């Protein structure tokens, strides 16, 4: 008799009242399949022995967690497959090999824990055909997606693939594709639990489309990785060629000077906007001949940048008498300018005292008046790099956005309130 043509009534008649349960790990068996089962655990061997002693009918149920060695009813799914045992062979190590033919989906209604093995009472889940036109369309779509998956490189033995494509029974088509594809165990189990054929085909179709999308994503990632590797290799070769050309043009000394600047700049805690500008100038410098006039200007600028006290903060010295003495000694004339500087220092001193008393926030101390301005160079005596900051004990405060080789020296009414260096500190 052909088991594939059996009716649900025949299957119910073949289903004993209680069935020995053989738990399996990592796989799901569907009706009409003939499968070998390797049983090595005592709970499985005992269930096989019980089935052979009765009607040779075994209920195969998948475990939820394959790591569980001695599963109990809570570790198993509620739907399994009723199978006839066709052959059995015992191995010398005590394990058992059986050949089974599945014939029905079975939903467990009651578990029987007999200690050394499990048994169950259940009912057959017959196939629900669904609307004919819908099923026909789903069959065609499932076969198309299955073929597309095989063309995308999903390996399946040619004879197995051809067998699956030749299946006419929609129920078997869904079951066999779910069995042979690398779907998750949970997804395969849901296919087993779905009695409606149309719904089962839809579920398999969704899984096939997900696999196709996954393969497409993997291909896109591989292409991106390949392009990135090719780009990195190309950039590496170009950099090596540029180094060779620069060595020919500038010699080893020019290359060492550039690397020394890079090393010293990497050690500085520069603001992002400053680092961007400095790196741009350094890259220009690396492409120039070291003896050119422009290279000399950029070299001076870079040397000035790396020698600024970016990570050093100094304390303010707001001694007005000392500030006046320094101004009178280092600057000739400029009485109004000197007065403005002393007024600014006096205000700073008063604010610092008020901040210590808690009358104003500490942040208000360093804020300059809104009428502050930058002093113009060339007034009176030419200022030296130490001329203006000295009245309050600070260090040289320079702007990295000035022209290469120059610095803006604070010499007028107020100190700058923003940028890399504030009054009272020498952070650049």
Alpha carbon dihedral 98, 101, 107, 112, in 10-degree steps, equals -30
List the Cα angle 341/343/344 in 5-degree steps: 65
DSSP letters spanning 194-247: --BHHHHHHHHHHHHHHHHHHHHHHHHHHHHHHHHHHHHHHHHHHHHHHHHHHH
Q: How many CB atoms lie within 10 A of CB 76?
A: 23
The two three-digit tokens of residue 238, written as one number: 């170009």
Helices (H), strands (E): how many in the chain?
Answer: 11, 6
Asked if residue 71 lies in contact with residue 63, where contact means CB atoms within 8 angstroms, the answer is yes
Those residues whose C-beta lies under 8 Å from the C-beta of residue 381, and which sit 6 or more positions away, are 330, 331, 332
For position 23, what pLDDT does the model report? Answer: 93
What is the rounded distance in angstroms from the CA atom of residue 187 to the CA atom of residue 142? Answer: 16
Cβ–Cβ < 8 Å for 144, 130: no
pTM of the entire predicted model: 0.52
With residue 61 as reference, give the H or E element that holds it: strand 57-62
Tell me: domain 127-249, CATH 1.20.58.1480, correct? yes
Supply the pLDDT for residue 29: 92
Residue ranges of the chain whose pLDDT lies below 70: 1-14, 246-254, 311, 363, 365-428
Mode of pairing for the β-strands spanning 57-62 and 19-24? parallel
Q: Where are the domains of the chain?
A: 3-124, 127-249, 250-307, 312-428
| Tokens 């824990």, located at residue | 113
Q: What is the pLDDT of residues 95-140, one digit of tens each?
A: 899 999 999 999 999 999 888 889 999 999 998 888 889 999 999 9
**3-124: CATH superfamily:** LON domain-like (2.30.130.40)
């Amino acid at each position: 008799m052909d088991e594939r043509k059996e009716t649900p009534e025949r299957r119910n008649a073949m289903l004993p009242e209680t069935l020995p349960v053989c738990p399996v790990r990592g796989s799901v068996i569907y009706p009409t399949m003939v499968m070998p089962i390797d049983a090595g655990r005592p709970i499985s061997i005992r269930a096989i022995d019980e089935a052979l002693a009765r009607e040779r009918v075994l209920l195969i149920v998948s475990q939820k967690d394959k790591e569980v060695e001695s599963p109990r009813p809570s570790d198993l799914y509620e739907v399994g497959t009723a199978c006839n045992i066709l052959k059995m062979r015992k191995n010398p190590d005590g394990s058992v090999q059986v050949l089974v033919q599945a014939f029905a989906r079975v939903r467990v209604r009651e578990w029987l824990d007999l200690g050394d093995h499990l048994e169950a009472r259940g009912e057959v889940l017959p196939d629900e055909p669904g609307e004919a036109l819908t099923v026909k369309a789903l069959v065609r779509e499932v076969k198309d997606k299955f073929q597309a998956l095989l063309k995308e490189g999903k390996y399946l033995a040619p004879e197995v693939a051809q067998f699956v494509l030749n299946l006419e029974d929609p129920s078997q088509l869904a079951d066999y594709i779910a069995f042979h594809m690398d779907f998750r165990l949970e997804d395969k189990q849901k296919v087993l639990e779905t009695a409606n054929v149309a719904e089962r085909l839809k579920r398999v179709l969704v899984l096939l489309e997900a696999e196709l999308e996954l393969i497409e994503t993997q291909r896109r990632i591989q292409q991106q990785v390949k392009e990135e590797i090719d780009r990195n290799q190309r950039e590496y070769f170009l950099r090596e060629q540029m180094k060779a050309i620069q060595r020919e043009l500038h010699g080893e000394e020019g290359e060492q000077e550039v690397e020394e600047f890079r090393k010293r700049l990497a050690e500085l805690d520069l603001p992002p906007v400053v680092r961007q500008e400095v790196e741009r100038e350094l890259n220009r410098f690396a492409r120039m001949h070291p003896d050119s006039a422009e290279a000399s200007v950029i070299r001076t600028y870079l040397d000035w940048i790396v020698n600024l006290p970016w990570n050093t903060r100094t304390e303010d010295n707001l001694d007005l008498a000392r500030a006046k003495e320094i101004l009178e000694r280092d600057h000739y004339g400029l009485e109004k300018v000197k007065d403005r500087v002393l007024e600014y220092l006096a205000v700073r001193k008063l604010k610092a005292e008020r901040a210590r008393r808690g009358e104003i926030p500490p942040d208000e101390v360093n804020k300059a008046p809104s009428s502050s301005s930058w002093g113009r160079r060339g007034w009176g005596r030419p200022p030296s790099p130490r001329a203006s900051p000295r009245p309050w004990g600070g260090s040289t405060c320079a702007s990295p956005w000035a022209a290469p080789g120059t610095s803006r020296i604070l010499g007028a009414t107020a100190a700058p309130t923003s940028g890399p260096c504030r009054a009272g500190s020498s952070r650049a």
